[in-house]
Amino acid sequence: MATRWDASTYDTSSAPQQAWGATVLARLSGIAPDASVLDVGCGTGRVTQELPALVPEGRVLAIDASQDMVDVARGRLGDRAEVWRQDVLDLDLDEPVDAIVSTATLHWVTDHDRLWNRLGSALPPCGVLEVQCGGEGNIQRVREAIDAAARETAPELVGFSPWLFAGPDETERRLRTAGFSEARCWLEEQPTYPEDMGTFVRTSILPAHLARLPEQRCEQFADTVIARVEMPLDYVRLNVSAVRGRD
């Protein structure tokens, strides 16, 4: 079932994701100015727009699974990046890129064995991967609120989760299996205080849940979740820095 993303609202409420993205881009500080970089899960392009300055003589590409997100990103980026709709598990580039970045996205992909293999195939030997996404323990209290709200108002959502919040050890094993010769993964707690918690929870956490409900029941479920959530939101980020090995 496709997830409906409210791209325009996400664009104005995603300050936490932008802050996390900035720390990922900082890890690319040594990249060559003529390198090619792919942003996986670019959203509305707020993080992607920083990439051209890092590779002024290079090439910036960006994908997202949501056409609404892609439309907003294209409007923001213009000719500074090539942006298209693409499921990362179907990624098939004409030629490899020198680096892949991804922020606040890959926990939405539940097949991580296939995911890391697909990303590895898009990189040349010594290509760089810099990622941040939800990790083990991410939004545990929020998930408990979602489960309670489902039992109360949406029984068809009981037991449903659109995420895989992996730990660093299992991720390092998957990366090495996927051909990465160097892989460092670590968790980082990021207590989060969105400016408008209700909007943030609806647009950044609940889209996949709401997509499974009839429209007339979405507000009741979302309101029930939000009433149970307290700040700070208990975000835990999985950071990944990896280099693809030589064939």
Sign of CA dihedral 111, 247, 48, 140: positive
Average pLDDT, the chain: 95
pLDDT in tens, 191-225: 999 999 999 999 999 999 999 999 999 999 999 99
Task: List the domain range (segments joined by +) for residue 30.
Answer: 7-137+162-193+234-244
Sign of CA dihedral 52, 55, 58, 60: negative
Other residues' Cβ atoms within 10 Å of the Cβ of residue 142: 20
Q: Which residue has the tokens 């949406």?
A: 154
Continuous segment of H or E residues that includes residue 191 = strand 180-192
Other residues' Cβ atoms within 10 Å of the Cβ of residue 80: 15
Q: Is residue 17 part of a domain?
A: yes
Q: Is residue 227 part of a domain?
A: no
pLDDT in tens, 155-177: 999 999 999 999 999 999 999 99
Q: Is residue 219 part of a domain?
A: no
Q: Is residue 204 part of a domain?
A: no
Rounded Cα gap, residues 60 and 74, in angstroms: 12
Q: Is residue 68 part of a domain?
A: yes
The pTM of the full predicted model, rounded to 2 decimals, is: 0.95
Q: Is residue 226 part of a domain?
A: no
pLDDT band at 105 (very low <50, low <70, confident <90, very high): very high
Q: How many domains does the chain have?
A: 1
Rounded Cα gap, residues 117 and 88, in angstroms: 11
Long-range pairs of 108-112 with CB within 8 A, sequence gap ≥ 24? 108/3, 108/41, 108/162, 108/163, 108/208, 109/164, 110/162, 110/163, 110/164, 111/164, 112/164, 112/166, 112/171, 112/174
Q: Is residue 208 part of a domain?
A: no
Helix (H, G, I), strand (E, B) or coil at 132: strand
Residue 114, domain CATH:
3.40.50.150
Question: Residue 102 burial by CB count (10 A; 0-12/13-18/19+): exposed, middle or buried?
Answer: buried
Residue 128 has pLDDT above 80, yes or no: yes
Q: Is residue 20 part of a domain?
A: yes
Buried b (16+ CB within 10 A) or exposed e, 216-227: eebeebbebbbe
Q: Which residue has the tokens 């664009």?
A: 11
Peptide bond into 232 cis (omega under 30): yes
Output the six-digit token pair for 83. Answer: 């942006």
Residue 8 has pLDDT above 90, yes or no: no
Question: Tell me, what's the pLDDT at 208?
Answer: 96
